[in-house]
Chain A
Amino acid sequence: MRVGVIGVRHASDALVTRLLQGGHSVAVYTGTRDSGNATTAPGGARQADTLADVCRGADVVLSHLHDDAMLLEVAQGANGVIASITGDTIHVALGLHRAKTIAQLGAAHAARDLRFVAAPVLLAAAVDVGETVVAAGPQAAVDALAPFFQALGLRVFPAGEKPEAASILALVHAGLVACAVEAMAEAFALVRKYGVDLHVMHDVITDGLFAGSDVYRRYGASLIDGAPGDGIDVTAARALQILDLVMAAADDAKVPLPSVDACRDRLLGAMAHGGGEYRWTVLNREQARASGLD
């Protein structure tokens, strides 16, 4: 397929490489070039100079952005995606965005008979199913994308026809992960104070009620030993951005989320102590610090 990728320099390289390996014809747009600093896409991909250029003739346009304002500008700005694609293209937003933003874009595309699918990637998934996108939009478009995603090694969780539903599901899922991590950090601080070996605690956690949960197993191990992993390697600063999106959805819907907020506060504390660029599991250290440990 002909795929246009709108991304952030270097951050989208892995995605572009996977697309090329899948045999797709790829064009990449990563914003204006810095003067004197040539921006080159991974070998084999065509560097596009404008949004119109990256959308031209594309079967799928992937917006791979972290920032809502950027996504709105890219999609709805002059000579942006909406102005440039045809009814044959599917515009996919792969990033995690505010539900409001996604709903707005869904409506804007639908108004022009253009196809828009929200397909945020989950923060963490199960190891045996791998990286997961939650995909929502016009049924035919989601169906058409399924083999495309699967060929990229992504598991697809279909979530109906409203794009913002995918956003809500991915954000709630991120909230669940955050709550589990904060709860474990608190549990570890408590038992450490009583002299418990955290490896014994981890064995107990992963044996009964939480047996089978890759989140508890992997994040628990990471909190104890610093082991890396998908979703775990997200920085504290980035995790805070994600939780801000969750809280924004909660604000819009008027839903108190005290557990998610507790994790968010721990992250803020971690960042206040210089941990912004560390893995977000550094909130464990923050909980320990708050407990007079270390």
Chain B
Amino acid sequence: MKIGFVGLGRMGRGMAHRLLGGGHDLIVYDVVPGAAESLVAAGARAAASVEEVCQRRDVVVTMLVEDATVLDVVQRPHGMRDALPRGAVHLAMGTYGVDAVLTLMRVHEAAGQHLVAAPVLGRPDLAAQGQLGIVAAGRPQDVERCEPLLRLIGRRIFRAGDTPTLSTAIKLANNHLLGCALVAMAEGFSLAHKCGVPPQLLYDLFTTSGFDAPAYKGYGKTMVEEGYDTIGSPITVGLKDALLIRAAAEYAAVPMPSHNVYHDRLLGAVAHGDGARDQAVLAREQNRVAGIDRAPGATS
């Protein structure tokens, strides 16, 4: 297939390499100069513009961080709306919000193009290995066309249905669950700490008693060790996604009190200068409100 790929960041680059490995005709684009280097070395072509990356393509993948960016890439003059062939598919794999996806649906339909929303689950190391989870939604014939690409990128594809916003909702809800797990653990660790119970003991208990899962084991370990400068997922990205979840909840009129707690703790982390640290630093924010003031790495 003739594929275009826009967005060669931490996730996108690994995903694009996986597509190249499938023997497809791949052209890539990123605003950052040099982002395409490793892909070009491996046999991809580099485009100089969004228009160029869309030429004669069957499918163009976008893997962008911000809604505003993907909307601009699509709607700008000579952007995807103008340059993607009629009948081609925009395979939108970034974590975009409901509002953005609805706009993309409308814009692509008017242009005779097709949208498949296929946000991914997993981090950059899984992206490079083709081990992501993918939640795909769109017209069945469009999702099927994308299937060979999704199989290169992911370990497992979840079919969410015919409307792109279905996978958007699932992806945002899953991120909400992670955020809630983080603040729940943070609250637990702070209570244990104040009662003289070692955090490691609490960690050992819950990771062997019903919470033997990456979310709790990985982020929980970071909280116990206070290793907040090893970034898996930074606070700023968490906040970006939290705002998308809030917007999705507002649009659907769903009160989400636990999510609000997560959102507020994210704001607190930013307010205290922890915005660039890993999301596990929410434990530090919870400690602040509980009157436990420790610098990272403190052992007292």
A and B interact physically: yes
Complex CA gap A200/B254 in Å reads: 20
Q: Chain A residues near B202: list those with CB within 8 A.
A: 169, 172
Q: Chain A residues near B178: list those with CB within 8 A.
A: 209
- A204-B174, A253-B195 given as contacts; is B187 within 8 A of A210 (CB)? no
Query: Which B residues from 179 to 227 make CB contacts under 8 A with A?
Result: 180-181, 183-185, 187-188, 190-192, 194-197, 201-202, 204-206, 208-216
Q: Chain B residues near A213: list those with CB within 8 A.
A: 210-213, 215-216
Range of interface residues on A (Cβ < 8 Å): 35 or more
Q: Chain B residues near A187: list those with CB within 8 A.
A: 173-174, 176-177
Contact of B191 among A168, A210, A262, A266 (CB under 8 A): A168
Q: Chain A residues near B213: list those with CB within 8 A.
A: 209-213, 216
Q: Chain B residues near A190: list those with CB within 8 A.
A: 169, 172-173, 176, 245, 248-249, 252, 254, 256
Q: Chain B residues near A194: list those with CB within 8 A.
A: 98, 165-166, 168-169, 248, 252
Complex CA gap A194/B252 in Å reads: 8
Name A's interface SS. helix
Contact of B180 among A180, A195, A215, A287 (CB under 8 A): A180
Complex CA gap A38/B183 in Å reads: 50
Determine if B191 and A250 form an interchain contact, defined as CB atoms under 8 angstroms apart: yes
Determine if A182 and B258 form an interchain contact, defined as CB atoms under 8 angstroms apart: yes
Contact of B205 among A169, A175, A211, A266 (CB under 8 A): A169
State whether the Cβ of A173 lies closer than 8 Å to any Cβ in chain B. Answer: yes
State whether the Cβ of B160 lies closer than 8 Å to any Cβ in chain A. Answer: yes
Complex CA gap A196/B169 in Å reads: 8
User: Which has the most chain B C-beta neighbours within 10 Å: A180, A183, A200, A215?
Assistant: A183
- A126-B212, A210-B213 given as contacts; is B249 within 8 A of A255 (CB)? no
State whether the Cβ of A222 lies closer than 8 Å to any Cβ in chain B. Answer: no
Query: Which B residues from 119 to 166 make CB contacts under 8 A with A?
Result: 121-122, 133, 135, 156, 158-161, 163, 165-166
- Identify the closest chain A residue to B162 (Cβ): A195
Given contact pairs A180-B181, A215-B210, enumerate 5 new A-B contacts (beta carbons under 8 Å): A182-B258, A183-B184, A186-B176, A186-B180, A209-B121
17 A-B pairs within 8 Å (CB atoms) are namely A126-B210, A126-B212, A172-B188, A177-B210, A182-B180, A194-B169, A200-B158, A201-B170, A201-B173, A204-B135, A208-B133, A208-B214, A213-B211, A259-B187, A290-B255, A291-B253, A292-B253
